[in-house]
Structure 1
């Protein structure tokens, strides 16, 4: 009998003790989409739905060792990068990924500020991220505040192609500008800039009325990585990931966790159909 193979992805990100964002959100998202999630933890945070209390970075050599251990042994089909925190960690990640960047798609979510407003990267590390990681990535996924911080100007929805030149200078192949922070109360519009093709793709979805939005950026970027791992191109991977996130937001709006911003419902396609009387009956 022929052995079945897992579709494997790697998440390089920080740990969220509240389970709604970071490495925990990445594992849940990839698992919900049928992808085997491997991890390299860059930092440990003490946080909940109300905010971040503490950030403890991992030693850079430990971060690099985790990445190399996974890549040397498993057939990783896509990589997602989240919270990086410091320049030494960015240098370690770049060194570990450089030999693989040409063959494995890499999605970089430039996590800079938590939803609560707490900083998740040191200011001096931002330039290192641009210089060392942007050229290695298949797709970068900034939200509107992150876009403004990286580019030094607000995103112009009237002329979305205006920003391509700057991203090209940093070596970015594609950039997804997430519109969740816009003032439009009825819809969310994301723009995918395919820099080398000088092309803009527009994705529109209904805005879900919910405060349970913790981890949306992590969830979207890891979903994109999951679909890239299946072999979809960037445009189709983004489209499918957005559909997944929209449903996770919609189903998560009906639930309550904690006193602040709760998470999206990563397993919305499964939990509603669980028969607790049958769980474990096959073991």
Structure 2
């Protein structure tokens, strides 16, 4: 008898190139044998290397999409990507926690498209970000995102401070001193995830795919460190799946 797959949800932007956002997340979810639902948070016009425009969806529009799914299915984990602003995020988080109290939530704080377009600048004090962070199971900034979000504080210092509110996976793709080395900051300490490959091909949407892979692993019952370790190995394969900016999903 076949078993039902765990249900997961992506709240993310629609990227027509399918390299990032909802379409990339759903491809990742399918490869990892979880059933993915997609909730659109923004409509973008782009290719892998050119960004033309973006139209935001507000909190009510996002919630309207998610409500019937959460009412019918037990969604184990949710990945949140591109979203308009902190007020929208807080309203959506409150809804998710109300409808699915045990849901695991991973936030990939998308501030800038890989093609160079800046969506928003969320520079805030830690006190103002605390209501968001305290509702998350993981946040996955890269070094530039961490520095912007923390007001140009050193990335590792900021990640350590944030970990008092939620775990932080500081991605190492922009780490100038240890390229490809990720740092998982938790309230109880630090774990280092070193790369298994020496060189990779850069990919459009790599941050989306990493956070989606971690979300899938959490939905399947893995602990946070194991999920992050698995996600790192998955993204390394994704990055080297093709020499182009668009990768292939594979195990």
| TM-score, length-scaled by structure 1 | 0.80
Aligned partners of 1:229, 1:155: CA distance in 2, in Å?
Answer: 28
Residues 36-55 of structure 1 mapped to structure 2, 5 A cutoff: 36-55=35-54
2:16 is aligned to 17
Counterpart check, 1:145 vs 2:137: no
Aligned partners of 1:90, 1:45: CA distance in 2, in Å?
Answer: 18
Counterpart check, 1:208 vs 2:191: no
Q: Is residue 176–residue 190 contact of structure 1 (8 Å, CA) maintained in 2?
A: yes
Aligned partners of 1:223, 1:128: CA distance in 2, in Å?
Answer: 30
Aligned partners of 2:247, 2:14: CA distance in 1, in Å?
Answer: 17
Q: Is residue 41–residue 57 contact of structure 2 (8 Å, CA) maintained in 1?
A: yes
Counterpart check, 1:217 vs 2:207: yes
Aligned partners of 1:146, 1:103: CA distance in 2, in Å?
Answer: 28
Residue aligned with 1:201, SS = strand
| Structure 2: runs of 5+ lacking an equivalent | none
2:109 is aligned to 110
2:241 is aligned to 251
**Displacement of 1:31 after TM fit?**
0.8
Q: Is residue 42–residue 89 contact of structure 1 (8 Å, CA) maintained in 2?
A: no
Counterpart check, 1:192 vs 2:184: yes
Aligned partners of 2:112, 2:230: CA distance in 1, in Å?
Answer: 26
Aligned partners of 1:85, 1:134: CA distance in 2, in Å?
Answer: 17
Structure 1 residues 225 and 129: CA distance shift in structure 2, 3 A: farther
Residue aligned with 2:229, SS = helix
1:233 is aligned to 223
2:247 is aligned to 264
Aligned partners of 2:26, 2:125: CA distance in 1, in Å?
Answer: 25
Q: Is residue 97–residue 103 contact of structure 2 (8 Å, CA) maintained in 1?
A: no
Aligned partners of 1:139, 1:246: CA distance in 2, in Å?
Answer: 20
**Displacement of 1:95 after TM fit?**
2.6
Structure 1 residues 134 and 100: CA distance shift in structure 2, 3 A: farther
Larger Rg, first or second structure (1 or 2)? 1
Structure 1 residues 137 and 91: CA distance shift in structure 2, 3 A: closer
1:74 is aligned to 73
* Two-structure CA RMSD over aligned residues (Å): 2.4
| Structure 1: runs of 5+ lacking an equivalent | 257-261, 270-283
Q: Is residue 30–residue 226 contact of structure 1 (8 Å, CA) maintained in 2?
A: yes
| TM-score, length-scaled by structure 2 | 0.90
Q: Is residue 15–residue 24 contact of structure 1 (8 Å, CA) maintained in 2?
A: yes
Give CA deviations for 1:156-205 in whole Å, capped at 9, x if unaligned: 4xxx6x7423442xx22x100001012358x410000112x2x1010011
**Displacement of 1:133 after TM fit?**
2.5
> Size of the alignment, in residue pairs?
249
Counterpart check, 1:154 vs 2:181: no
**Displacement of 1:134 after TM fit?**
1.4
